[in-house]
Structure formats: structure tokens, C-alpha cells
Structure 1
Amino acid sequence: MSPSRRLALAAGAFLAAAPALAGCAAGFDSVVERPYSPTEAATLKTDRLTISQAFLLGPDAGGNLPAGGSSPLYLSLVNTGQAPDTLTGVTAEGVGTVKIAQPIALPVNEFVSTAGTPPKVNVEGLAKPLRGGESVKVTLQFANAGNIAIHVPVITRSREFANLPAVTGAVAPPAPAPSASQPADGGGGH
């Protein structure tokens, strides 16, 4: 084999391997290896609050929450101000009415979550169906910090969110159609 032919083969092999080698260079801390954290940005910080997670729980993957249904709002909050605060209300623009079980106390420098069974904050009477992937403008109303508007994603109940309580009133994804080799009645025979 001629030297130029060997050089051409070596260059071709390198170019074929380049995409795989580039993926290895990203390492274990690459963006594709990190779990998705549903937040408006990395973390929303004000002079008094840090909101590290905010999302509406949607249906199971492939399903939908019908109009009239409900969806819990999950928030992770830390009051970084000088005095205790309270989450007193929430509105969800064009989506439904938000109900808070009771005002949520935010002691100074303590992590507070709205998760629970039942969740502490719910959007009820959905004005439109939710499938997951949408973004909803939510305004959080605090006794001391005032109003803070954020856009929160609607997250499907899958992957790391699969263990959260199922949303009542959700419509399940359609069942797969039977294949041509299986009868629609399950093939139980008579």
C-alpha cells in the first residue's frame, strides 16, 4: 500500500472517530449528564428570596390534564432576608385559580418546599388542558418581599418526577393499538 493511501485511510479513520472522541472530552460533568432541574433560570434570587425550583406537575407522559382539572405547584424557597416572611397567595395567569392550604411560613435561611400529600399549593379549575412542556406565568405574593412573577414549566410525571403523587382528573395516554398479529380481544380464545 502506498504511503499516500495509508495517510488517506488514517485521516478517514480519525475523522470517523472524531465525534465519539469529542463526546468523551465532555466528561462526566457535561450538560448532557446532569439531570434537568425545572426552574425559570438556574435559580431566581432577589434581595430577600431564593427560588431554586418551581414547576407545575402535569400528567403522565403522553397524557393530559383536562380543562377543569387541577395541578400542584411545586416550589423550593429560601428566605434570605433579615426577617421571617410568608407566602400569602399565588396567581397563575390564564390557567386557573390557585389555592393555598394555608399561608406558608418562610423562616430566615431555612429551606421550605410546597411538596406534600396533599400538595400545599394547587392550581384548580384549569382553564385549558395541559400536556407538559408549556410555560405558565405565576405571581407569588409574599407578606414582606411583595409580588414576584416567574414563568414555570409544566413538567410531565415521568423520569425523576414519576414518584410524585398522581394528579387527579388526569387523562391517561391512549393505549397502543393492538398489532395485526394479536386479536383486539386479547387473543384469549373461545
Structure 2
Amino acid sequence: MTRNSRRWATVAAAFLAAAPVLAGCGTGMDANTSRPYHATEAVTVRQNGIDVSQAFFLGPESGSQIAAGGAAPLYMSLVNSAQAPDQLVGVGVDPAVGTAKIPAPVELKPGQGVRIGTPTPTIVVDGLKQPLRGGESIKIQLQFANAGIIPVTVPVITRSREFATLAPASGGGQGATPSASPSVSPTEGATASPSPSPSTTE
């Protein structure tokens, strides 16, 4: 087994040891479409020097669905407020939901942020076990080289209103495969403020 294989095996083992489940009902997805989602209302998670904000999966257009077997891209902002560089090296999701794919590590320099998903989404949950209509919540685990595993509950929003121009997963989100390199852009005006002791705020 190569060094890289051993590292990914360790990441997989860590994920399975703390396997996340989807929020809500027994099917693994909790639909709540009673009110629109706004990125400014998104959950912010601060843990081990990493800030995760404005995280969401892009779902289908309003009134439609992403069929089982399809894919939903992940959009989010990351800020590294630690003193040392870090990397996002993996994304875990309950196998009952689908398969999370990250094409390559995402570099996080100290005091800087990146926006994942623009201009082209690359991190996706593929091979969905159930259709997505928007309004569901999916629990994921972000694996960082230094910060470790950070759990985040991510809403699925419809591709409408201010999100209508965002790109779905390649091929319209139907069984898509991400491109060869991660799509990140500097978070505009991102600054790293001192993080409190490791905690998760929802």
C-alpha cells in the first residue's frame, strides 16, 4: 500500500468511526421547504481554527428534482484563522445518502479564505440514493490535514432566485463527476478573526 493509500485509508476509517447521519426522518433526508434559504442565514461552524460558512448543496430548479443516481454540488466559504496553513483533504457523507467526491486537496493559507463551488463546482455528493427536491439537510464531515474532522449540517437549496445562475454539477447534476482540480476562489474581504475554543455553532 502506498503512502497516499494509507493516508486515505486513515481518513476513511476516521469517517466511518463517526459516520454522520442525515437530519430528520428514517429515509435520511429532512425536507423543510416552507421558507426560502438565504446564504447569509447559513450555519457558521468554527472549530480548530477553521471557519465554515455559507455552505449549501445546490438542488434542482423549483418544482423539479435531482433524480436518484444524480449529483448535488457543494458551495461554501472556508477561512483559516489558524497560524499555520491547512488543507481540506476529504469530504465524508453517510453511504445511505451517496458518495462524496473531492478531486484534490484545497489549500488554506493562514488568515485567508476561499470560496468553493465557483465558478465551476467540483465537490459533489454523487450517486444519490434518493431524489432531492430542495429543503433537505445533509450532514457531512470535512476532513482537514491539521484541523481534523469538522461536522457540518448543510441545507439543500433550489436553483432559483439569487441561486438561479449558479452552475449545477457537470451534466446538470445527473450522475456527474467533478473536474480534475478543485474550484476555489479567494473569499472577498475575508479576514481571519481569532477563533474561540473549539466549538460548533448551529
Partner of 1:12: none
Partner of 1:61: 62
- 1:107 is displaced (CA, Å) by 0.7
Q: Which runs of 4+ in 1 moved over 6 A?
A: none
Q: Which runs of 5+ in 2 are unaligned?
A: 1-36, 175-202
- 1:165 is displaced (CA, Å) by 1.2
Distance change (3 Å), C-alpha of 1:155 and 1:38: farther
Between the aligned partners of 2:114 and 2:46, the Cα distance in structure 1 is 15
Between the aligned partners of 1:149 and 1:48, the Cα distance in structure 2 is 14
Between the aligned partners of 1:119 and 1:45, the Cα distance in structure 2 is 23
Determine if contact 2:64/2:133 at 8 Å carries over to the other structure: yes
- 1:38 is displaced (CA, Å) by 6.2
- 1:169 is displaced (CA, Å) by 4.7
Three-state SS of the structure 1 residue aligned to 2:133 is: coil
Superposition CA RMSD, Å: 1.9
Distance change (3 Å), C-alpha of 1:161 and 1:143: same
After superposition, give the CA deviation of every residue in 1:131-168 in whole Å (9 maximum; x if it has no partner): 00000000000000000111100010011100001343
1:132 counterpart (125, 134, 152) = 134
- 1:120 is displaced (CA, Å) by 2.4
Three-state SS of the structure 2 residue aligned to 1:160 is: helix
Partner of 1:86: 87
- 1:116 is displaced (CA, Å) by 2.9
> Which aligned pairs between 1:157-172 and structure 2 lie closer than 5 A?
157-167=159-169, 168-169=171-172
- TM-score of the aligned structures, taking structure 1 as reference length: 0.66
> Which aligned pairs between 1:1-190 and structure 2 lie closer than 5 A?
36-37=38-39, 41=43, 43-93=44-94, 94-167=96-169, 168-169=171-172
Q: Give the fraction of aligned pairs with identical amino acids, expressed as a percent.
A: 49
- 1:117 is displaced (CA, Å) by 4.5
Structure (1 or 2) with the larger CA radius of gyration: 1
Choose between structure 1 and 2 for higher RCO, CA contacts under 8 A separated by at least 6 residues: 2
Determine if contact 1:87/1:142 at 8 Å carries over to the other structure: yes
Q: Which has the higher helix share?
A: 1
Aligned residue-pair number? 136
Determine if contact 1:140/1:147 at 8 Å carries over to the other structure: yes
Between the aligned partners of 2:165 and 2:67, the Cα distance in structure 1 is 21
Distance change (3 Å), C-alpha of 1:58 and 1:90: same
Determine if contact 1:48/1:79 at 8 Å carries over to the other structure: yes
Q: Structure 1: which amino acid aligns with 2:145?
A: A
Q: Structure 1: which amino acid aligns with 2:73?
A: P
Q: Structure 2: which amino acid aligns with 1:129?
A: P
Distance change (3 Å), C-alpha of 1:170 and 1:52: closer
Three-state SS of the structure 2 residue aligned to 1:60 is: coil
